[in-house]
Amino acid sequence: GESVGLHLPTLSVQEGDNSIINCAYSNSASDYFIWYKQESGKGPQFIIDIRSNMDKRQGQRVTVLLNKTVKHLSLQIAATQPGDSAVYFCAENRDGGSQGNLIFGKGTKLSVKP
């Protein structure tokens, strides 16, 4: 069935390196995507979003890239810091925003080595 998934369940990077977390989606009608960061024992924290009329969006140290051709979403974190260690989820909106229902991937765990 259709789902939002992640290519890598775990990712380990060296402090100061760039991180890339990937996400595949299967519903070509999805028009809105969000990346969340969830630290252990806490609720997900909004990081950045992107709509389907864009290919790239940048925030503070983070960049989201959207490739609609292959239905792929990625989150790039520049100069990864220990505080970036968390589980990262992508989410897609499938119903055109009528209720704001999001479908979440299972997450990728990012570990930053000092």
Partner 1 sequence: SQTIHQWPATLVQPVGSPLSLECTVEGTSNPNLYWYRQAAGRGLQLLFYSVGIGQISSEVPQNLSASRPQDRQFILSSKKLLLSDSGFYLCAWSVRTVKETQYFGPGTRLLVL
62 near partner 1 (CB under 8 A): no
Host H or E run for residue 70: none
Q: How far apart are CA 81 and CA 83, in angstroms?
A: 5
Residue (6 or 112) nearer to partner 1, CB: 6
Stretch that binds partner 1, among 18-26, 56-64, 77-85, 93-101 (CB under 8 A): 93-101
42 near partner 1 (CB under 8 A): yes
Residue (50 or 77) nearer to partner 1, CB: 50
Q: How far apart are CA 11 and CA 80, in angstroms?
A: 12
Joined tokens for residue 30: 């999805």
